Amino acid sequence: MTQHNHHQHDHRSHGGHTPTTGKAAHDDAHAGHDKHAGHSVAMFRDKFWLTLLLTIPTVIWSGMIQHWFDYTAPQFTGSAYIPAVFGTIVYFYGGWPFLSGGYHELRNRLPGMMTLISLAITVAFLFSALVSLGIVEGLDLWWELATLVAIMLLGHWIEMRSITQAQGALKELAKLLPDMAVRLDETGTAKEIPVAQLKRGDLLLIRPGAGIPADGVVKEGTSAVNEAMITGESKPMDKTAGAKVIAGTVNGQGSLRVEVTGIGDETALAGLMRLVEQAQSSRSRAQALADRAAFYLTIIAIVSAAITAIVWPLFGQPWSFTMQRVVTVLVIACPHALGLAIPLVTAISTTIGAHNGLLVRDRRGLEEARLLNTIVFDKTGTLTLGSHRVVKITAADGFADDEVLRVAASVQRDAEHPIAQALMTSAKEQDIDVPMSHDFESMPGRGVRAVVEERSLHVGGPALLRMLGVEPQETLRRAAESAAVAGQSATYLVEGDRVLAVFAIADAIRPESFDAVKRLHDSGLEVVLLTGDSTAVGNSVAKELAIDTVFAEVLPEDKVAKIEELQAQGKRVAMVGDGVNDAPALLTADVGIAIGAGTDVAVEAGDVVLVRSDPRDVPAIIELSKATYRKMIQNLWWAAGYNIVAIPLAAGILAPWGILLQPALGAVLMSLSTVVVAINAQLLRRAVRHGAGSASLVLKPT
């Protein structure tokens, strides 16, 4: 374990580290071009089914299909025009989303998927129309046009469903809010009213099993509330007077009276939804790469189609053959799957995170987390509970630990000192029934005295022993010395002239911290402790948790310097701390992780906000980052890699050997790549499981 003593030095300027504002995020989110603006799942579904119906007669009465399958379609007046008429309807009705999308792409000087599809179906339509009108000799492409549009609509329907399902999981939270609430008037009379009529300050009655309609504070009652849908914490949270409750959570068996503190857009639930929506629309480096790849692929496809149109006539091929090749090249090279590869994975990963209490404020933070090799933890409230507990009890011979803690807590029952609170809290957490005491007397600077079960007892520090003139036995003396070395307070329980026990009191380490540090070490990451406490305290915590490096006695304004010092060594650093007090350090780190924010999404610092104060969520966000990146890379290969083979094949490079790719088959292959990308992204959900007895997210390799 490396030790660093850090004393006060010149303050540094950290200008330029400013929180990301909502407006900036909003502007960034809309920087890209949305190829599906104004489109919906229902629109593509309805267009697909009607287009499919129109395609069937187009294919049945196609001369080429009749020749291939050696049949004759029913003949009647005008039957020869069925492919042309139905194909034209398909072009304008089914093809309209692509035609309008291509127009907007060209108008915005961002040619892409819609441009290629609209070019392909327009080339097929114009050529077929010229053939049908007798202006150009050749074989029309009506059936190819109709099947192409139908398959493209099917592919887009599947895509839109995948995106909607990915984003819809979070929107389901909104449905958790009840439509009605029970409000109590000044006389205590209950009246059921619409939630929309609630206002701050209203007193609500929350019946057992009812949904909580607004954020608030418990004024009366005791219950356990299920907050899993907001925080990811599976264990119901106990609520008594003074506790906060969150809109959208579900009350347990008790009845609560709650004063409303937040309604509508002011609730934590609304804030969480805004935060996740912001993350899903923010742009990452991987998305920028995919966008550039899609743009260049579009240019390559258009150039390849132009070369195809020039070369085949030079080899003596008819225009119908050449147009088939051109249409196939344009269709098969559509960067459709490429446009879906990153956004769909992002939507799913941010939703998974949100349901597990990991709120991604900036996708770049999620993307960078996989590259981290050093994790810096603030101590107080992060690795420790942030409040004092009894961390060790050493009892005199013949006394049990629970018994001495029970009577010591009783002596301190009426005191307000942090030592008293530590004893009472520790007893409560161990389900120890603390008896009443009387004749309480405070002795400033020394301790307190009270009568418990007819026994006169004292509790205090070393000054109390000097005042009473008593000496602890050897085992108790050594325990007190060990506590002092570890930077802990030694508190004694005395009865008469005998010391019954010594309590080591300190900011207790969270039980979850041990597993968190172990998981980080198992992943090969260095763990650093950054604290303003003394070197003794820092070393004690680090030794117990097996932390690699300690920076102790660091002033709040100097934490940034320590982060920069680690970065100067070539390390990629994450800072885990309070989203307010540690804000400069969080902003300086490669990835800032604000822990213990609860449902306060107003935290401006931190790429990732952890709802729970559970340090195990830190390795969880790294694992989520790695799993997300793996899916992105897999999807990029599925989306673009096949074009290396597909474009030359579509252009007819194997035509001399009798191997040709029809436009409809090209559309199937292109749509298939899109479906594979969508399914592969959804598999990210299957990579998620919950560790046994833990609320932390755990991911399996995929």
Q: Determine the Cα–Cα distance for residues 542 and 609; give it in Å rounded to an integer.
A: 24
> What would the pLDDT profile of 225-240 be if each residue is shown by its tens digit?
887 666 655 567 889 9
Res 368 pLDDT > 80: yes
Res 110 pLDDT > 80: no
Q: Determine the Cα–Cα distance for residues 395 and 503; give it in Å rounded to an integer.
A: 9
Compute the average pLDDT of residues 125-144: 81
Judge if 347-383+510-623 and 386-509 fold alike in CATH terms: no
Between residues 96 and 604, the one the model is more confident about:
96
Compute the average pLDDT of residues 364-379: 90
**326 neighbors 665 (Cβ within 8 angstroms):** no
Question: Could you report how far apart the first and last alpha carbons of the chain are, in Å?
Answer: 35
Task: Give 390-445 as a 3 state SS string.
Answer: EEEEEECCCCCHHHHHHHHHHHCCCCCCHHHHHHHHHHHHCCCCCCCCEEEEEECC
Compute the average pLDDT of residues 322-343: 75
Q: Which pLDDT band holds residue 276 (cuts at 50, 70, 90)?
A: low
Query: Comparing C-alpha atoms, which of 167, 158, 164, 268 is closest to residue 212?
Result: 268
Task: Give 456-491 as a 3 state SS string.
Answer: EEEEECHHHHHHHCCCCCHHHHHHHHHHHHCCCEEE
Domain 347-383+510-623 in CATH 3.40.50.1000: yes
Strands 223-226 and 237-239: antiparallel
Query: Comparing C-alpha atoms, which of 84, 92, 95, 76 is closest to residue 57?
Result: 84
Res 166 pLDDT > 80: no
> What would the pLDDT profile of 573-599 be if each residue is shown by its tens digit?
999 987 555 778 888 899 989 886 544
> What would the pLDDT profile of 628-674 be if each residue is shown by its tens digit?
889 888 888 887 777 777 788 888 888 888 887 776 677 677 767 77
Across 598-643, the runs of DSSP E, i.e. the strands, are 608-610
Compute the average pLDDT of residues 421-430: 89
Q: What pLDDT sits at residue 610?
A: 84
Q: Which pLDDT band holds residue 135 (cuts at 50, 70, 90)?
A: confident
Structural domain 386-509, CATH architecture: 3-Layer(aba) Sandwich (3.40)
Torsion angle of alpha carbons 389, 392, 394, 395, nearest 10°?
50
The CATH number fitting domain 178-212+215-262, selected from 3.20.20.120, 2.40.30.10, 3.40.50.300, 2.70.150.10:
2.70.150.10
If you count them, how many residues does the chain have?
702
Cβ burial, residue 118 (10 Å; 0-12/13-18/19+): buried
Q: Determine the Cα–Cα distance for residues 196 and 179; give it in Å rounded to an integer.
A: 8
Between residues 379 and 469, the one the model is more confident about:
469
How much is the mean pLDDT over the chain? 80
> Which residues form the catalytic set?
378
Domain spans of the chain, in order of start: 41-171+281-346+641-677, 178-212+215-262, 347-383+510-623, 386-509
Give the least confident one: 25-29, 205-209, 248-252.
25-29
Compute the average pLDDT of residues 65-85: 89
Res 489 pLDDT > 50: yes
Q: Determine the Cα–Cα distance for residues 287 and 342; give it in Å rounded to an integer.
A: 6
Give the least confident one: 193-197, 209-213, 353-357.
353-357
